[in-house]
Amino acid sequence: MFHTLLQVNPIEGFFFGSGKSMVVGGVAVIIIVGLGLWMWRMEKRIQRLDETATRQTNSSNESAEA
């Protein structure tokens, strides 16, 4: 199959015939899982910052009222 595929399209034949597709698949999985972890951390940070900002807004409102 490898040789025939090489004749049809050299890049496809090289990519799938030499097992490099497994490496690319693995790297893609690592990237998407890494993206998920990064988004997870970012969301948590934003939530923490949001809580801090809300507390500060409330305290500044209270001091203004006082």
Partner 1 sequence: MIQRSWKIGGIALLAYVFWTTFTVPLGPGLLEFRDRNEAASTDGITKRIETYELIGLGTHWTVQPEELRLFIRKGDQITPLPVIDVIDDTHAHAALLLPDTLPSKAWDVLINHPIDGTLFLQNGLFVEGFVVDESAQLPRPQFEERSADLPHHFPFQPRIFETIRNLMLHVPMWFTMFLLMGIAFVASIRQLSQSAGGSSLFDLRAEASVQVGMVFGVLGLLTGSLWARYTWGAWWVDDPQLNGALVTVLVYAGYLILRGSVEDERLKARLAAVYNLFAFVILTILLMVLPRFTESLHPGKGGNPGFNSYDLDSSLRAVFYPAVLGWMLLGTWMYRIRLQATRLNQKLHRLNDE
**Site of interaction with partner 1 (CB under 8 A):** 1, 4-5, 8-9, 12, 15-16, 21-22, 24-26, 28-29, 32-33, 35-36, 39-40, 42-43, 46-47, 49-50, 53-54, 56-57, 60
Query: Backbone phi, then psi, for 8, in 5-degree steps?
Result: -70, -50
* Type and span of the H or E element at 20: helix 20-65
Burial class of residue 34, CB neighbours in 10 A (0-12, 13-18, 19+): exposed
Instruction: Output the smallest distance, CB 5 to partner 1, in A.
Output: 6
Instruction: Output the smallest distance, CB 6 to partner 1, in A.
Output: 11
